[in-house]
Structures are given as C-alpha cells and as structure tokens.
Amino acid sequence: MKPSEIMSSIQLNGKNIALTDVLVDEMGDNHVQTSVDTPLRNDAFVLSDEDKIKAIEKHFRAIMEVLGLDLNDDSLKGTPKRVAKMYVKEIFKGLNPENMPKVTLFNNSYHYNQMLVEKNISFYSNCEHHFVPIIGRAHVAYISNGKVIGLSKLNRIVNYFAKRPQVQERLTMQIGAALQKILGTQDVAVVIDAKHLCVASRGIEDDTSTTVTSFYEGKFKEEATRSEFLKYLELHTKV
C-alpha cells in the first residue's frame, strides 16, 4: 500500500481524518489518543475468557509461523498459549469491568480534612500503539468529603486501569475520574511518571526520557493545594 492510500478514516478532535500508512506511524510515535474511554466494541465480552485464550493462541501461533519460528522446538511450542493466557488473565485483564476492584468506603471518623497522598505506586501497562510496556509510578491524592478508602485500594485502582492497552494521558484521566466517582469528591489529583518502551526500544530509541502527565480537579486546581501535593512527592521516606 502506498503511503497516500486511504485505509479508513477516524474521528480526531471532532473531525474525520483519512487514515493512511503515514498517519498510522505518526499517531503511534506521537501517542495520539482518540477518546478518554478505552475503545471497546459493543460485543467485547460476548466471548468467555477461555474462548478468547483459544482464539488468541491460534492467531499468535500464526504470527510466530509467519516470522519463521519453529514451533516444534520445545522452548517455543507452548508460547502461543502462554501469550494468550497472559493477554487475557494478566496484562489486559483491566479491559473486563468484572475485574474492577471491589471498593468499600469508610466513614472519616477521625475528621481528617487534609489531603491524603499515596505516592510511588508502581504499575506496568502497555502502549496501545505498539503493544510494548509502559513502566511507571503513579502518585494520587484526595481530600475526603466524608468518606475514605483503604490505602491498598488506591494501588488496585491504578493497576486496574493500567492493565489494558493504554495511552498515558487516558490512563491518568481514567484513574482520576474513577476516584472522583468512588469517593464522591471532586478534590482528586493524579500524577504519572512513566517510561515508554515504544520510545526506548524502537523508533527514536531513547532509553533515558520519561513522560509526566497530571490530573487536577476541585481544590487541586488551586495553586496552594497543588503545590502542597507536589511538595509531598519530593519526600524520600525511609523505613
């Protein structure tokens, strides 16, 4: 296909854009996202996990064969099924809403009305443009509106949204919006600092740069509150 040939079209910033080979590459290298919600088809959950694993195993086997790999080799013969199980049960399990962490809220009995910060939450995600890892840390904060959440649930929520093909900007917004809904407060902040292997291992092959994205709503839009939050991120806690 020539670069100028139109493959299809997409909606980008409210406009129909012709999708060509050139644009496909540009979108991938520039981490363009087309929606805040993860793009899912209406029939995304018609198949069971086991059915998905069988289908992916078949297709990944075909990919390996096209690449010229000998799947009769003892080291490779189980790879298609291992990859399929990994996709469905592990690295992309956040696509299924049934895997959303069950969250119990507690009354703010201590009447703690300052911000709560959970920082350095490690996560692994995958770039939706090349399906290679995004490795980073998330820092989240909220100011209670009468309810509080268990600390470990903050980590679980981050990892739930990370376990799907992602764009970092979308991941940041999804975490922030979910916390607002769960906690019943607009006062939420999220900062993510991550390394993208689609930048480090291919393309420009820059292994030193990281990407920082943020979500500030409610009181965190105020400079003083936002500055306080960012100051906490500089702390080096020793245990």
Catalytically active residues, by annotation: 127-130, 168, 196, 198
Return the residue matching tokens 């995304």.
Answer: 44
Angle at 66 between CA 61 and CA 68, to 5 degrees: 100
Q: What is the DSSP letter of 101?
A: P
Pair of tokens at residue 181: 């809904």
Given a contact cutoff of 8 angstroms between Cβ atoms, the answer to whether 126 and 166 are in contact is yes
- Could you give the 3-state DSSP secondary structure of residue 126? strand
Characterize the bridge pairing of strands 133-143 and 188-196: antiparallel
Count of alpha carbons within 13 Å of 152, Cβ hemisphere only? 3
CA distance 174 to 171: 5
Q: What is the DSSP letter of 135?
A: E
CA distance 166 to 40: 12
